[in-house]
Each structure stands twice: as C-alpha cells, then as structure tokens.
C-alpha cells in the first residue's frame, strides 16, 4: 500500500476513451473508473429500495446522496426537490447507517495497486470516520489444474455455473479449505470430488442421527464422554481459528477432523454411536454454518429448528474432560507398540498383558514437575505410600521423569491411575478386535503377584506390555 501511495499523485483522474461518467466541468473527459467505482458498496445498501420503490434516475439528485450517506440537509426539503417521499428517504438513511461501515473487504492482492487504494482514500475523503472501512483481507490468485485461468485457455469457470456444476456449499467448502488466504488456490477436480464425498458422508451421518431413536441416558458411558470432550475441544479451537481468520484451519478442524472423530467414536461405540452424534448435532451444524449455510440450515430443519442457525447462539464449550481425552487418545500409541512387538517376535502369539502403573508412580511425576529433589521425593513415597525398601524403584521412576519433556509430565499429572485402568478395561474389546489377540488389563501389583515379566516397568501413560 505504501509503495502505491508514493506514486498515486501521478495517476490521471480522467480519460477521453471508454465508457463511464463524464467529468462535470468538461464533458469531453470521462472520470477514471478507479475514481468512480470504489464506494459502490454504499450504493448496495439502498439499491433494493430504489428498485422496489420505482425511483427513477433523475430523482437521484446530489441532495439525496448527501442526506442518505452523510446525513446532510433537511429530509423534507430533499423530498420536495427530488420527488422521493420522506419515509422512503428515511428508510434509505436507516439502511445505510445499519450496514455501514464495511466490516471486511475481501479481494485479491493485485488490487492493492488500484482499486483498494482508491477505496480507502475515497472513503476518507467522502465519509466521516465512523464509516471508514474496518478491515481489508487479501488472497492470492486462483489457478486451475496447475495452470493460470484465462478465457483464451477455456479453463475459466463462471460463477453462474458453480451452482449447477458443484453447488454453492461445495464451492464454499472447497475454496475455503484448499488454501490459506496467502497461498495460491489450485482448483483441482479430483480434490473437489473428494470434498464432495466428505460432504455426502457428513449429510448421511446427520440423517442417520436425526432418524435415530435414542433412549435418555442417566449415566453416559466412557466413550460418549470422550467423544463430547473431543467435540468441545474442536469447538474451542475452531472458534479461535475463525476469529483469527485462519479459515482453512477452522474448516479442517470443524469439518474434516470432526468426521474422523465420528469414525473413531463409531469404532469404539458400535451402531449406537448415532445417538451420541445426535446429542451434539445441532452444535456441530452451527459450528459449520458459516461455511456450508444451505446444508446446515436444511439439517437444522430436520431437527425441528424454528429459527435460522445464522441467528442462533454460537456453540458453548462445556463438558471437557481433559484427562479422558489424554487417556483414550493414548490408546492408539499402545496399539502401535503392541503391533511392533508382535512383529519382532518369531513365534505365534495369543495374548497380551497391559500392565497399569500404580498411583505412586504418578505422584513422583507430579513432584518432579513441582521441582522437588530426590531425597524429598523418597521421603514422601515412604510416608505416604509405605514404600520403604523400594527406594531403587523410586529412584528409577524419578530419573525417568527428569528426562521427560515438561509437556509429557503435565499430561501424566492431569490423569489418575484409576482412570487409566478404567479406560483400558473399557477399550479391551476394541483392542482385541484391532490386534486379533486376547487382551488382559492388570494392575502392576497383581501382575507382580502372578509373576508376569516386565510388570515393574509400567509407567503412567506407558503401561508395561507382555505378550504370550
């Protein structure tokens, strides 16, 4: 912008060729289009009234615009001079003051050198400060299948064809997700098709959830609590991304990551997953309404919604159980570890023992996080957990935690051994289906009592594994 401003005074304000508005004091000259077309958004606010009321061009005298846009003049005098009724002029003024200023102007980077600079300067010259533009956002150019779009190449897609070839929502979803604002958007039909498949999948999930007959549950199962907690996290992060104009990240989170979450929830829960989805569906479609408004409003009508989602409250963040999210998300790593061990063994296997560390090992992690020294940790373990004679184990755990990243220690500190055991027991059938093995979940002390090897190696969020 600053580079443009440095030479802007060299640019002529009028020309003699082409179409446009004639210069008022010399009809041989035509006003340069950039000087004449950068406040048209103000006209948008009243254009519908001009059409509906049958206002003729000759009635739109300068006094009308002075009153509507600037609030200058007596409305009765303006009405008498223009022939436009007082109530219509007042309606036009109300519309303009309701919509202005422009909260966000979005266009391409190449327009900085022409349209946008004039847009800023003309608003400053003509309007009071409260009607100056608030925000300008810019995007890079759009290409198609790796090539620049041009009429000569025949690879331009007119906007009027978008609704019939793709649909408005598919178009909005794809272009907003395919690239960040500061990146070139490469329109590729293969990717558009994939996004369409995801949109169809989303619609089918919503339809199944709406049609599901679900009984009221007094106590939610662990899987549904995890699902709702993950959804609450998605709502929080998506909202922040949207507020920061990180549109692509918002869509990735609120749409694609959410679809993946539903898939994982179905793996855990089975066919009843649709009832869990039904409980959060209205919040989900509200979260997606800015990008796919038509489809989400349709789904809202399936749910019996009486008002537009666009007029409703934004989803609130509630029911987030961070410890549950940490523990359930960690199951995929455990599954991967078991598969890796099985792959290294040269003999058939039938059973895996998952051995959960006791709470005192978690307590050591919390003490390390707080900065307590080894001697004090040993003293605490002796007095609180009666671990006299097991100092070697305490030291081993202490040294292991000292090498860990702070973020890992914080995860351990936010969870409990009791909850970790409950999660693994609840996921036992899921693990058996994924691994093709019998899965046994044991406390470390029980495993030691049964002389199961490696039991003493169990740590919080890293249970010991023994495969038979």
Please check whether residues 197 and 314 belong to one and the same domain: yes
For 436-455, write each residue's pLDDT tens digit: 999 999 999 999 999 999 99
Please check whether residues 219 and 261 belong to one and the same domain: yes
Average pLDDT over residues 82-111: 94
C-alpha 329/C-alpha 461 separation (Å) is 10
Establish if 165 belongs to a structural domain.
no
| Contacts with 114 (C-beta within 8 Å, 6 or more apart), sequence order | 34
For 146-168, write each residue's pLDDT tens digit: 888 777 788 888 888 888 888 99
The DSSP output letter for 252 is: I
Please check whether residues 459 and 343 belong to one and the same domain: yes
H helix or E strand, kind and range, residue 408: helix 406-413
Establish if 235 belongs to a structural domain.
yes
Render 201-213 in DSSP notation, one character per residue.
HHHHHHHHHHH--
Please check whether residues 385 and 294 belong to one and the same domain: no
> Cis omega before residue 224 (within 30°)?
no
Q: Is the pTM of this model over 0.85?
A: no
**Token pair 């979450």 in the structure block, residue:** 261
The DSSP output letter for 316 is: P
Q: How many residues does the chain have?
A: 468
Please check whether residues 7 and 126 belong to one and the same domain: yes
Which of 119, 139, 159 is the last residue in one of the domains? Answer: 139
For 317-354, write each residue's pLDDT tens digit: 888 899 999 999 999 999 999 999 999 998 899 999 99
Please check whether residues 293 and 203 belong to one and the same domain: yes
Which of 291, 320, 349 is the last residue in one of the domains? Answer: 320
CB 328 within 8 A of CB 280: no
pLDDT at 218: 65
pLDDT at 312: 94
Count of H-run helices and E-run strands, the chain: 24, 11
For 54-77, write each residue's pLDDT tens digit: 999 999 999 999 999 999 999 999
H helix or E strand, kind and range, residue 96: helix 86-99
Residue 303: which CATH number? 1.10.730.10
CA distances from 178 to 193, 195, 264, 351 (A): 12, 10, 24, 45
Please check whether residues 351 and 301 belong to one and the same domain: no
| HSE-up of residue 106 (Cα within 13 Å, Cβ side) | 8
Please check whether residues 197 and 277 belong to one and the same domain: yes
Establish if 163 belongs to a structural domain.
no
More confident of the two residues 33 and 366: 366
Which of 320, 342, 377 is the last residue in one of the domains? Answer: 320
Establish if 70 belongs to a structural domain.
yes
C-alpha 338/C-alpha 343 separation (Å) is 9
Average pLDDT over residues 358-362: 96
Please check whether residues 79 and 176 belong to one and the same domain: no
**Token pair belonging to 348:** 């058939």
- The residue segments making up the domain with residue 398 are 332-467
CB 118 within 8 A of CB 150: no
pLDDT at 36: 63
C-alpha 417/C-alpha 280 separation (Å) is 29
CA distances from 74 to 57, 58, 84, 130, 231 (A): 21, 20, 13, 21, 56
Establish if 368 belongs to a structural domain.
yes
Establish if 159 belongs to a structural domain.
no
C-alpha 67/C-alpha 75 separation (Å) is 7
Establish if 326 belongs to a structural domain.
no
Average pLDDT over residues 4-32: 86
Percent of the chain's residues with pLDDT above 90: 75
Mean pLDDT of the chain: 92
pLDDT at 30: 92
CA distances from 262 to 38, 151, 258, 273, 288 (A): 46, 43, 6, 8, 15
**Token pair belonging to 289:** 């309404």
Please check whether residues 288 and 367 belong to one and the same domain: no
Burial of 7 (0-12, 13-18, 19+ CB in 10 A): exposed
Establish if 122 belongs to a structural domain.
yes
Domain count, the chain: 3
pLDDT of 251 higher than 90 = yes
Please check whether residues 416 and 457 belong to one and the same domain: yes
pLDDT of 283 higher than 80 = yes
Please check whether residues 63 and 95 belong to one and the same domain: yes
């Amino acid at each position: 912008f600053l580079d443009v401003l440095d030479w802007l005074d060299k640019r002529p304000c009028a020309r003699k060729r082409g179409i446009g508005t004639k210069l008022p004091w010399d009809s041989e000259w035509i006003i340069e289009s950039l000087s004449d077309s950068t406040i048209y958004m103000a006209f948008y606010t009243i254009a519908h009234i001009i059409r509906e009321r049958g206002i003729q061009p000759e009635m739109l005298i300068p006094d009308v615009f002075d009153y509507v846009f600037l609030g200058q003049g007596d409305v009765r005098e303006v009405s008498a001079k223009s022939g436009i009724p007082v109530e219509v002029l007042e309606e036009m003024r109300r519309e303009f003051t309701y919509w202005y200023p422009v909260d966000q102007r979005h266009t391409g980077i190449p327009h900085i050198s022409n349209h946008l600079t004039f847009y800023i300067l003309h608003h400053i010259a003509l309007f009071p400060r409260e009607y100056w533009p608030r925000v300008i956002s810019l995007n890079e150019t759009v290409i198609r299948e790796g090539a620049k779009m041009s009429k000569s190449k025949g690879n331009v897609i007119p906007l009027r064809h978008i609704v019939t070839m793709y649909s408005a929502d598919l178009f909005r979803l794809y272009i907003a997700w395919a690239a960040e604002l500061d990146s070139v958007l490469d329109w590729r039909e293969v990717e558009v098709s994939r996004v369409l498949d995801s949109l169809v999948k989303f619609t089918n999930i919503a339809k199944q959830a709406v049609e599901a007959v679900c009984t009221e549950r007094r106590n939610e199962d662990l899987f549904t609590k995890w699902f709702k907690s993950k959804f609450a996290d998605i709502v929080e992060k998506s909202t922040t991304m949207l507020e920061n104009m990180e549109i692509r990240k918002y869509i990735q989170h609120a749409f694609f990551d959410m679809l993946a979450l539903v898939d994982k929830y179905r793996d855990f829960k089975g066919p009843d997953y649709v009832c869990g989805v039904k409980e959060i569906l209205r919040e989900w479609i509200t979260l997606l309404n800015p990008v796919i408004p038509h489809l989400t409003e349709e789904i809202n009508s399936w749910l019996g919604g009486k008002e537009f989602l666009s007029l409703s409250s934004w989803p609130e963040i509630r029911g987030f159980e961070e410890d549950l999210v940490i523990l359930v998300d960690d199951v995929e790593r455990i599954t991967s570890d078991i598969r890796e061990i099985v792959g290294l063994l040269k003999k058939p296997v039938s059973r895996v023992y998952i051995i959960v560390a006791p709470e005192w090992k978690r307590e050591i992690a919390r003490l390390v996080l707080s900065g307590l020294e080894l001697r004090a940790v040993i003293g605490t373990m002796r007095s609180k957990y009666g671990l006299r004679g097991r100092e070697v184990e305490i030291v081993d755990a202490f040294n292991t935690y000292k090498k860990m990243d702070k973020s890992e220690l914080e995860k351990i500190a936010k969870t409990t051994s009791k909850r970790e055991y409950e999660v693994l027991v609840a996921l036992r059938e899921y693990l058996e289906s994924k691994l093709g093995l019998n899965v046994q979940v044991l406390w470390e002390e029980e495993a030691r009592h049964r002389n199961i090897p490696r039991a003493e190696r169990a740590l919080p969020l890293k249970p010991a594994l023994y495969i038979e």
